[in-house]
Amino acid sequence: MAESTSYQRFRNRIEQLEQHVQAVDLSVSYALDTTKAKIAAGGTILGALGKTHAKYSHLKHPVNHAPRIFNFSKSLNFEHAVIILYRYFGEYLRGVLEEMYAKDPLAVVGKVQGNSLQFHELVALGSYQAIAQKMIDTTFRRLEDERSTTKLFDKILGHTKIVVTQVTKDAALKHLEMRHLFIHNNGKCDALFEKNYGAHFGLKDGNDLPTNYKTTSAAINSVVALLKEVDQLLITGSFIPARG
């Protein structure tokens, strides 16, 4: 199946992310199981794991602290995965914006009001390639500044008039919106998230967001499904070129 350069990059990043998530989860689960079996014997976490290296100074706690420490690590692994997933989602949209610019520059730079460059900026940039890069970067940053995943997504694709399956879009966006809460609300559901997605996740305002393998896997799969569909629609509509 033909893919854009942006989607190929995204797909490779997702494969690496999934490998990382699984590697960390497996390693922490192994450490948790190993230390649980040795709690009765006492000693330290490091001792239970047969390690003495000085760089692990924060693991010299009594071995009965291992479940608390390692379960926190498992949770943090999944939280970071969702944050990184959003970054890769943004990178894809930024890449697609650049690919669309190559086809129709005015459609891209017209997505936000007030996009302009002064004469001294044009001279300083020095080449059409540098000027184009500046316009793309500025446009994307201004769209990002709205701090709404839905608005960012819709405005980047707005002029294309492509129709994304609503179920696919909603599935991805409800996971991507978690990133904002992890960063700006201590990983807790707020009133808006409860209103939009609380029923799906079984969350009320103030509840902790789920940080487990099932939710993280669903987040990754839903975003992959969304961008795969978007990529095919953009290629079919000749808004971006296909690669291979």
Q: How far apart are CA 156 and CA 151, in angstroms?
A: 8
**Cα angle 116, 120, 121; round to 5:** 50
HSE toward the beta carbon, residue 218, CA cutoff 13 A:
15
Look up tokens 């992310």; give the residue: 17
Residue 135 near residue 97, CB atoms below 8 Å: no
pLDDT in tens, the chain (244 residues): 789 999 999 999 999 999 999 999 999 999 999 999 999 999 999 999 998 778 888 999 999 999 999 999 999 999 999 999 999 999 999 888 888 877 777 666 666 666 655 556 665 656 657 766 766 766 667 666 666 788 888 888 888 899 999 999 999 999 999 999 999 999 999 999 999 999 999 999 999 999 999 999 999 999 999 999 999 999 999 988 887 6
Interhelix angle 166-176/66-103, rounded to 10 degrees, is 130
Q: Model confidence over 84-137: pLDDT tens digits?
A: 999 999 999 988 888 887 777 766 666 666 665 555 666 565 665 776 676 676
Q: Which residues contact 189 (CB under 8 A, 6 or more apart)?
A: 181, 198, 201, 203, 204, 205, 206, 207, 208, 209
Q: Which residues pair with 34 in a beta bridge?
A: none
* Residue in the structure block whose two tokens are 């460059």: 117
Structure tokens at 74: 């498992």
- Where does residue 206 rank: exposed (0-12), middle (13-18), buried (19+ CB within 10 A)? exposed
Looking at this protein, which amino acid is placed at residue 22? Q
